[in-house]
Chains A and B, each alone.
Chain A
Amino acid sequence: MSTTTAPATATAVVPAPASTARRTGPSFPALTGLEVRKSLSTRSGRSVAALAVLVGPLGVLLATTTSGGAVAAAMALGIMGMLIALVLLALGVLSTAGEWTHRSVQTTYLLVPRRGRVLAAKAAAMALLGLVLASVGVGLAVGALALFTTGVTWFAAGQAVAAVIASGAAFTVIGAGIGAAVGNSAAALTGTYLTVLGILPVLNSVEPEIAARLDPAGAVVTLAQHGAATTPIAVIAGWVVVSTVTGVLVTRRRSVA
């Protein structure tokens, strides 16, 4: 019985694969495209994407039916934008935490071991998907407002549309960061929605000034109604940065079982 000790220096050359596989890994744009394909290749991903597109116009129709019209477009779009953003947050969570939940993250990091690069591509893919889906969703919401709601005030509607689209992209990236940090879809979604829809509204009722500096959902509505303002932009940007950095740091250290 003999145990071979490795040589001090390795001189082997990476062999060429027998097939026509690339010698290098995928480029960043290719990796981003792959992450988009991954997100839309499952029923859960497609369902969330469809919901993100439909929640805006459906919300408008529901509000029109119950209130009868006479609304400010900026306010209505702000509220619909918040709903779109919260749905897109789930898409982001599924893109990262979903891989840990199903353990398909093993294959991902076997083929592209540089985890930071993968997460950067996921963030780019989610920003792109969020941008496109929020654009379609808010476009349909505007159409629903124009077609089915009477007495709409269109003042500042353009800035509201821009705010919704940007927020959609940002929330999808936030979801990806939270999913990467938590590594479990159910826990990430439950924790995030509990915080955004439960804890922060309670905080808002007792300490509104503090809540305004923390609440990303409220920031979307504020942005849509009042245009580019420092506080809501800073709140959303803060969530993007903190969730993404945390996701990267945790993912780089986590073992893949």
Chain B
Amino acid sequence: MITVSGLTKDYGGRRVVDEVSFELEPGTVTGFLGPNGAGKSTTMRMVTGLVPASSGTALVAGRPYTSLPNPGAVMGTLLDAAAVHPGRTGRTHLRLLASTIGVPAPRVDEVLEMVDLTAAGGRRIGGYSLGMRQRLGIAAALLADPPVLMFDEPANGLDPEGIRWMRDLLRGHAARGGTVLLSSHLLGEVEHTVDRLLVIGSGRIVADGPIHELLAGDGTAVRPADAASFEPALRAAGLEVQHRDGGVLVVPGASPDRIGALAAAGGHALVDLRPSEQGLEELFFQLTDAS
């Protein structure tokens, strides 16, 4: 549904997005991660045509976004929750958008209820908190119930309940065959929401793949009943051993089968044995520090 190919942006001789390519399929939630200034927002703006690309193409549902007959009905976009006129009420703002997209007026009240802003709909947006503006932006993106959603930092300002609601919304959208691209600084939230990760560093894609594959480590995490006696056995077998919290030993480069066999041969009882995984935060810094 979103196909980006060789997207590049230069600002005054400085390359901020460099040959970014990816393809997002229906039924998936993709997390778009990167440090500040890595090019996430610029890439999203180029996809929508708000920022012209220096080179490369971005297609949404097979066409450049700017060529879609009614783009708001194809892709719901939240790039900046503060980009609204503070003098309008939330309801008026949504009604104007609904008229532009061609959505019946009652839909405005439906989406206001979905984001729990019914009571605040008649108030001027200038009096909204950041979280309320985020929810208003999400409501605007959902007006036409579009098949594609692209959200830039949607969790900013949301309380834990709001974040959980948004996670369920995005997962539900993907479960119904929708496509979601989500950027966020909340790594824990991303880890629990997305199927796939795109990591961008210094304007280039440095990782792209299913989240379980990216987080899978090359090794085994084992928790023996008696770590003090099992660790020498592992070292005697020529294996490197790293210590983790909770008495867990991580053995890089060894499969769970081999560790299990070693434990059985030495008569060591094991409480837990599984392939090792790294945390998203660890992966994030590993990838973005290197870029």
Contact A10 B99 (CB under 8 A): no
- A252 and B6 CA atoms in complex are apart in Å by 23
Name which of B80-88, B156-164, B249-257 contacts chain A: B80-88
Known: A24-B70, A114-B66. A44 touches B50 (CB 8 A): no
Total count of chain B residues near the partner, CB < 8 A: 60
Residue of B nearest to A101 (CB): B85
- A102 and B21 CA atoms in complex are apart in Å by 32
Contact B66 A14 (CB under 8 A): no
Chain B CB within 8 A of A205 CB: no
Known: A17-B144, A34-B99. A4 touches B50 (CB 8 A): no
The DSSP consensus for interface residues of chain A is loop
Contact A26 B99 (CB under 8 A): yes
Interface string of A1-21 (1 = CB under 8 A from B): 111111100111111011111
Residue in contact with B50 in the complex, picked from A15, A30, A256, CB distance below 8 Å: A256
Residue of B nearest to A14 (CB): B61
Known: A3-B22, A110-B48. A20 touches B69 (CB 8 A): no
Chain A CB within 8 A of B234 CB: no
Contact B88 A41 (CB under 8 A): yes
Residue of B nearest to A24 (CB): B69
Contact A109 B5 (CB under 8 A): no
- A10 and B72 CA atoms in complex are apart in Å by 20
Name which of B113-121, B204-212, B217-225, B236-244 contacts chain A: B204-212
Residue in contact with A12 in the complex, picked from B49, B62, B70, CB distance below 8 Å: B62
- Please give, as numbers and ranges, the residues of chain A lying within 8 Å of B140 by CB-CB distance: 107
- A200 and B73 CA atoms in complex are apart in Å by 48
- Please give, as numbers and ranges, the residues of chain A lying within 8 Å of B103 by CB-CB distance: 19-22
Chain B CB within 8 A of A255 CB: yes
**Shortest CB–CB separation between residue A100 and chain B, in angstroms?**
10
Contact A21 B72 (CB under 8 A): yes
Q: List residues of A (31-62) whose CB comes within 8 Å of B's CBs.
A: 31, 34, 37-38, 41-44
Chain A CB within 8 A of B269 CB: no
- A93 and B34 CA atoms in complex are apart in Å by 38
Q: List residues of B (194-211) whose CB comes within 8 Å of A's CBs.
A: 205-209
Residue in contact with B1 in the complex, picked from A3, A12, A34, A106, CB distance below 8 Å: A12
Residue of A nearest to B79 (CB): A106
Interface string of B40-74 (1 = CB under 8 A from A): 00000100111110000101011101101111111
Chain B CB within 8 A of A111 CB: yes
Contact B144 A25 (CB under 8 A): no
**Shortest CB–CB separation between residue A129 and chain B, in angstroms?**
16
Interface string of A71-105 (1 = CB under 8 A from B): 00000000000000000000000000011001111
Q: List residues of A (122-180) whose CB comes within 8 Å of B's CBs.
A: none
Chain A CB within 8 A of B31 CB: no
Contact A255 B50 (CB under 8 A): yes
Interface string of B81-110 (1 = CB under 8 A from A): 011111110001000110111111001000
Residue of A nearest to B210 (CB): A2
Contact B97 A22 (CB under 8 A): no
Residue in contact with A41 in the complex, picked from B96, B101, B102, CB distance below 8 Å: B96
Residue in contact with B85 in the complex, picked from A11, A25, A104, A109, CB distance below 8 Å: A104
Known: A17-B73, A43-B87, A256-B50. A6 touches B82 (CB 8 A): no
Contact A113 B69 (CB under 8 A): no
Interface string of A235-257 (1 = CB under 8 A from B): 00000000000000000010111
Known: A6-B5, A6-B57. A256 touches B45 (CB 8 A): yes
Known: A114-B66, A255-B50. A22 touches B73 (CB 8 A): yes
Contact B63 A4 (CB under 8 A): no
Q: List residues of B (1-54) whose CB comes within 8 Å of A's CBs.
A: 1, 3-6, 21-23, 45, 48-52
Contact B61 A12 (CB under 8 A): yes
Residue of B nearest to A6 (CB): B5
- Please give, as numbers and ranges, the residues of chain A lying within 8 Å of B97 by CB-CB distance: 107, 111
Contact A42 B88 (CB under 8 A): yes
Contact B57 A111 (CB under 8 A): no
Chain B CB within 8 A of A112 CB: yes
Residues of B within 8 A of A (CB): 1, 3-6, 21-23, 45, 48-52, 57, 59, 61-63, 65-66, 68-74, 77, 79-80, 82-88, 92, 96-97, 99-104, 107, 140, 143-147, 205-209, 214
The 4 closest A-B pairs by CB, nearest first: A22-B102, A12-B62, A6-B5, A42-B87
Residues of A within 8 A of B (CB): 1-7, 10-15, 17-26, 30-31, 34, 37-38, 41-44, 98-99, 102-107, 109-114, 253, 255-257
Please name 14 further chain A to chain B contacts, defined as beta carbons within 8 Å, in addition to the given A25-B71, A41-B92, A103-B83, sorted by A numbering: A3-B208, A17-B147, A19-B144, A21-B146, A24-B69, A34-B96, A42-B87, A103-B82, A104-B84, A107-B97, A111-B97, A111-B100, A114-B66, A256-B45
